[in-house]
Chain A
Amino acid sequence: MIATECGDSAACRALVESFLPAISNVARGFQGSRVERRELLQEGVAGLLFAARRYDSQLDTPFWAYASFWVRKAMQELVAELTRPVALSDRAARDLSHIRRARNESLQTDGREPTTAELSAATGLAPSHVESLRATDRMPRGLEDRLSADDASSPTVGATIIDSDAEQAYEKVLDDLEIHGVLGLTDELEERERAVVRSHYGLGQEAQTLREIGAGLGLTAERTRQIEAAALTKLRQALARPASIRRTAT
């Protein structure tokens, strides 16, 4: 657990793999909630990793007893968010009715989920309006739909469900975590600054002296030291930016 909290992505994977059956069990309690199992598992994994980051091994509660609270809470909140009853105006309710009718006709004619663009064309409603009403209705989306209706470069729904295996649910969470773990803090640095810090302190490689690093970069040891000092200052400043307060005119 502590290795997980410490940002070790391999430990995160091991943790998730060992608790995935337990997370699945929790998800079973939400069957019939109109939320896809894959979404529940994904949220459950996020809850587990949050618990690992927050858990203090000196507490009396065993880890899973602690983590299951956050896993269940994450799923409950997802269900509450996605199935929250939405009060629609009379006009919106009529529009939604048109969309449902167009969708049913398309399903009968083409045998597949219509895209937002097709529903927009069939109903005469703006694509963004169709999108938001479908969201309130939790209506399945077409495989060719973009995940973001306003962004033509965003991936399609179909591209995100290449593998419907439940285990895929946590891959994205872990990948995000891994990317964050590696880039996180040093993302603030330029490539050369990052290279100097990593080489000097042996992060992911053999540690080198500033002289050795400088020789590799064609710099003096003193110049390399300056680069490192600037990098550390930059990291510090990123974590300690004061709020700039605008004063009102009096």
Chain B
Amino acid sequence: MSSDGTALRHNAFVYETEDQYLARVVPFLQDGLQAGEGAIVAHTKPGLAMMREALGPDATRVTFVDVSWAYTRPARALAAYHEVYAQQLQKTPKLRAVADVQFGPDPGEWHLWTGYEAVFNRSFGHLPAWVLCSYNANGTPDSVIEGVWQTHPEVVDGDAWNASGLYEDPDRLLRRITPPPQELPDLRSLPVGRDLEQIRERLAPELIAAGLGEAKTLEMLLAATEIAANALQHGAGIEDVRVGRAHGRFVCEIVDRGPGFDDPTAGYLAPRAGVGSGLWVARQLTWRIEFFRSPRGFTTRIWL
């Protein structure tokens, strides 16, 4: 939380032993409980068991969330955390949370999760939450640890909460790590249609013909509806709708006639007053969304 406790405080803690971990996070949560704040532990199953035991009787006042399978895509992980935080904030005016992030084995995806940590600052910037992300130094690659310092404004070092000298503005970091969009020459145009309903009617047979299941077809229809609605409302109308397969995935591009925008956090900001939630919805439902300007116009590319 900010110094007045009204907005997010997003910190990280790099530890080497279980004792170090418990010595830091248990008092962190207990201090919050004493102050009437909510407490959340997000961890894998053994981490939850360890915390339940360490918290003793206080465990009954803590929400435990198994995040073993939560980190599939950044937008989905953010949505999952948002739901937990939203429920907690209905019960207490503030919350404290400890979270264990799952980076995975392939260096090619680490930047994705560093990006997740960066955008977390913006996504939940409005929530009265103090979130402590924990990283076990044993077995965590140096480049991931470096990313921890780049994405958390404060990092716990020993007994002190220090401002990170490597912290990078989330927008800048996201721009740095996001690869430029590739040209996808195999996509083909669909008749644009006069309204959202007609776009869905023309898109649905393409999805079904591509062999996608009912659930995924509906998810793409909803995501495309959100993007097309934005294009109609803010983008001076739809210029083109293109579909096809690329790298094994179904892709739908919606090209509008407007100037577009340049916001790397678009669709990652959790719902709140004054922020449209269409892109947040679309990101949750799909694999990836890219926004870019091309000779065709401002393009939103949806990967299912």
A interface residues, Cβ below 8 angstroms from B: 1-3, 5-9, 46, 50, 53-54, 56-61, 65-66, 69-70, 74, 77-78, 80-81, 84, 86-87, 181-182, 184-186, 197-198, 200-204, 207, 225, 232, 235-236, 239-248
Contacts and interface: CB of A to CB of B under 8 A. Distances in A.
B247 interface: yes
Contacts of A46: 69
A52 to B, nearest CB: 10
B181 interface: no
A2 B249 contact: yes
B263 to A, nearest CB: 18
A139 B56 CA distance: 23
Contact of A204 (B68, B214, B226): B214
Interface string B273-294: 1000110110011010000000
22 contacts: A8-B211, A53-B72, A54-B72, A60-B108, A61-B106, A77-B44, A77-B45, A81-B48, A87-B53, A182-B214, A186-B215, A201-B200, A201-B201, A201-B218, A232-B222, A239-B79, A239-B277, A241-B86, A241-B271, A242-B271, A246-B92, A248-B94
B112 to A, nearest CB: 8
A249 to B, nearest CB: 9
Contact of B128 (A182, A200, A245): A245
A231 to B, nearest CB: 10
B216 interface: yes
A8 B280 CA distance: 24
Contacts of A184: 215
B85 A243 contact: yes
Given A84-B50, A240-B281, A60 B204 contact: no
B46 interface: yes
B191 interface: no
Given A77-B45, A207-B205, A232-B225, A245 B89 contact: yes
B71 interface: yes
Contacts of A244: 86, 89-90
A87 B128 CA distance: 36
B213 A6 contact: yes
A241 to B, nearest CB: 7
A247 B7 CA distance: 12
Given A5-B287, A81-B45, 19 more contacts: A1-B248, A6-B304, A8-B211, A46-B69, A54-B73, A70-B104, A84-B46, A84-B50, A84-B53, A184-B215, A201-B201, A203-B204, A235-B222, A239-B285, A240-B271, A242-B271, A246-B89, A246-B93, A248-B93
Contacts of A54: 71-73, 104, 109
Interface in B43-100: 44-46, 48-50, 53, 68-69, 71-73, 79, 82-83, 85-86, 89-94
Contact of B90 (A197, A200, A201, A246): A246
Nearest to A245: B89
A61 B108 CA distance: 9
B219 interface: yes
A77 B68 contact: yes
B45 A78 contact: yes
A117 to B, nearest CB: 26
A109 B76 CA distance: 54
A243 B106 contact: no
Report, nearest first, the 9 A-B pairs whose CB atoms are least far apart. Answer: A243-B86, A240-B277, A80-B46, A242-B271, A69-B105, A201-B204, A81-B45, A248-B93, A81-B46
B25 interface: no
A3 B105 contact: no
A70 B213 CA distance: 25
Contact of B72 (A6, A50, A78, A197): A50
A244 B89 CA distance: 7
A35 to B, nearest CB: 12
Contacts of A9: 213
Nearest to A67: B105
